[in-house]
Amino acid sequence: MVVNTTHDTIKTDPILNVQSIDVAYGSVRVLHEVSLQVFAGELVSICGINGAGKSTTLKTIAGVLKPQSGQIVFRGQDITGKNAEKTHRLGIALVPEGREIFPSLTVAENLRIGAFGRYDAKRYAQDLEDIFELFPILKERYNQAGGLLSGGEQQMLAIARALVSRPDLLMMDEPSLGLAPAMVDLIFELIETLKNRGITILLVEQNAERALKIADRAYLLSTGYIKFAGRPEDMSETIDITSVYLGDGEGGF
């Protein structure tokens, strides 16, 4: 595996620039002026306890939710309020929380939908080979219904389904959630492999310790506010992660 050099390359414009977004469900506001940037080739991690607004942040970037105010710029283009099908076409892929596999569709069909917005027959065949190399189990299960796969296999399918669209930004929402320890190791190894391939990744994880180990930069979300932004090791220093995760609310400050 390639040794990860520190990312002190010249940082031009971020590939994703979220500027002060407010998001609410009905009248309940859950994100308050959240800003974050992701630069090309980076692995950025968002940490925070249950209900902090991590999924809401990813869903808003992906266009499932619309911000009440603020702006989201992706590769120089304003994508604020654009719906999910459009952001996908522009190159944003989300591996949703809970995997959200189409249960009665086969692995093959799940992957086929993954490429929907950006399908190109020639490239697709090539990408499949690549996917099978990364996830040999998916080749074995190719014609099985997605709902019959184990949790870990479903997570691999969910990640593969996002990868076949060749995203410019891969967002993952708690990919290790609910998996057996061995599978968690496998998923984190995989995320590192993807990072080393140069894929830009925005990772949300409850497993902060593991996530911070592989991240280039990190954000801490707490009750809808960004409470920390910076280098992962600084975050581990300034904030007592365990207290955040034991649910002290504001956590460690």
Partner 1 sequence: MNLQILTEFTINTISMGSLYALIALGLVFVFGICQLVNFAYGEFFAVSAYTLYFLGTFTSLPWFMVFLLGIFAGVAIAFLCEVVAFRPFRDRSMDALLVTSFAVSVIAQRVYQLSISPRPKAVPIPDFMNRTVTIFGIGTPLRNPLIIATTAVLLIALTLLMKKTTLGIAMRGASENFTTARLMGVPANLVILAAFIISGLLAGVVAIFLSARTGSVEPMAGAGPLLIGFIAVVIGGMHSLPGSVVGGFVYAGISNVLSLTLPTTMLSFRDAIMFAIVIAFLVIKPEGMIRGNYHEERVG
Residues at the contact surface with Mg ion, assessed by CB under 5 A: 55, 97
Q: 3-state class of 165 per DSSP? A: coil
Q: Which is closer to ligand ATP, CB of 55 or CB of 200?
A: 55
Alpha-carbon separation of residue 229 from 28, 79, 235, 238 (angstroms): 25, 23, 8, 11
Q: 3-state class of 16 per DSSP? A: strand
At a CB cut-off of 8 Å and minimum separation 6, what does 27 contact?
Answer: none
Report if residue 105 touches partner 1, rule: CB under 8 A: yes
Report if residue 230 touches partner 1, rule: CB under 8 A: no
Q: How far is the CB of 23 from partner 1 (least distance, A)?
A: 16
DSSP 147: G
Choose one: 43-51, 94-102, 177-185, 207-215; the region binding partner 1 (CB under 8 A): 94-102
Q: How far is the CB of 109 from partner 1 (least distance, A)?
A: 5
- Lookup: tokens for 163: 């990868």
Choose one: 53-61, 72-80, 191-199, 226-234; the region binding ligand ATP (CB under 6 A): 53-61
Name the strand (E) or helix (H) holding 169: strand 169-173
- Lookup: tokens for 223: 């009750």
The 20-59 site mask, x for binding partner 1 (CB under 8 A), equals: ----------------------------------------
Q: Which is closer to ligand ATP, CB of 97 or CB of 109?
A: 97
Q: Which is closer to ligand ATP, CB of 52 or CB of 203?
A: 52
Give me the DSSP letters along 24-93: EETTEEEEEEEEEEE-TT-EEEEE--TTSSHHHHHHHHHTSS--SEEEEEETTEE-TT--HHHHHHHTEE
Q: Which of 37, 45, 55, 155 binds ligand ATP (CB under 6 A)?
A: 55
Q: Which is closer to Mg ion, CB of 52 or CB of 199?
A: 52
Q: How far is the CB of 31 from ligand ATP (least distance, A)?
A: 8
d(CA 242, CA 208): 9
Query: 109 to 138, contacts with partner 1 by CB under 8 A?
Result: 109-110, 112-119
Q: What are phi and psi of 96, to 5 degrees?
A: -70, 155
d(CA 22, CA 2): 39
Q: What are phi and psi of 218, to 5 degrees?
A: -145, 155
Q: How far is the CB of 62 from ligand ATP (least distance, A)?
A: 12
Q: How far is the CB of 110 from partner 1 (least distance, A)?
A: 8
Residues that bind ligand ATP in the complex, under the rule CB under 6 A:
25, 28, 30, 48, 50-56, 97, 206
Residues that bind partner 1 in the complex, under the rule CB under 8 A:
62, 64, 83-85, 88-89, 93-94, 96, 100, 102-105, 109-110, 112-119, 147, 161, 165
